[in-house]
Chain A
Amino acid sequence: GDSVTQMEGPVTLSEEAFLTINCTYTATGYPSLFWYVQYPGEGLQLLLKATKADDKGSNKGFEATYRKETTSFHLEKGSVQVSDSAVYFCALSSNTGNQFYFGTGTSLTVIP
């Protein structure tokens, strides 16, 4: 069945460091891919998404490219800030749109 495998955390970075959080997926057909962010005490917020191969989603300096050949959707940011400290979830929506699969979440802490 469809699934998402996400890099385990926690991840601790210094401010202005480069961030990569790895995400790979298993799916039949052509799923849509998402990154969500969860700040302490809140629900999940959509960060970015991509709906087809080679699409790049971007928002707030974060980027992820839908790579069908490597079944990956890695999240990157060139220069992290303390305010980026949160938990990040990779997710997949199946072909039919009726099934949604989340990764286990990666906790990021950015220190000044």
Chain B
Amino acid sequence: EADIYQTPRYLVIGTGKKITLECSQTMGHDKMYWYQQDPGMELHLIHYSYGVNSTEKGDLSSESTVSRIRTEHFPLTLESARPSHTSQYLCASAGEEETQYFGPGTRLLVL
């Protein structure tokens, strides 16, 4: 069973605020990912990391940024939230066996 945590689970915030979505895993996985999930269910990769101090942008352009200072921690930051950022954000991690393990998600609503 994978141990990957996301906080907060739900967030309602006003336009222009800075927010950080937290993601932590206790499995020692090198690879971590952030996905944005449409209401229509499709997953879009927005950021990934293959290890400490390594971060890359994914397929979907995003105004968010990420950092990977510690193996277990991969926070995602929005400097100025907008209504278009309203979505569900899923964090995942993977070890050498390739399987991705997901956190419970953060549902963000920007008013």
Contacts and interface: CB of A to CB of B under 8 A. Distances in A.
A100 B58 CA distance: 11
Interface SS of A by simple majority: strand
Please indicate which of the listed interface residues A34, A43, A89, A105 has the most CB atoms of chain B within 10 Å of its own CB: A43
Interface in A74-112: 87, 89, 91, 93, 97-98, 100, 102, 104-105, 107
A22 to B, nearest CB: 17
Given A43-B102, A43-B104, A45-B102, A105 B42 contact: yes
Contact of A44 (B31, B50, B90): B90
B12 interface: no
Contacts of B90: 43-44
Interface of B: 6, 31, 33, 41-43, 45, 50, 90, 92, 94, 96, 98-105, 107
The 9 closest A-B pairs by CB, nearest first: A43-B102, A105-B41, A44-B102, A97-B98, A93-B98, A43-B105, A43-B104, A102-B43, A104-B42
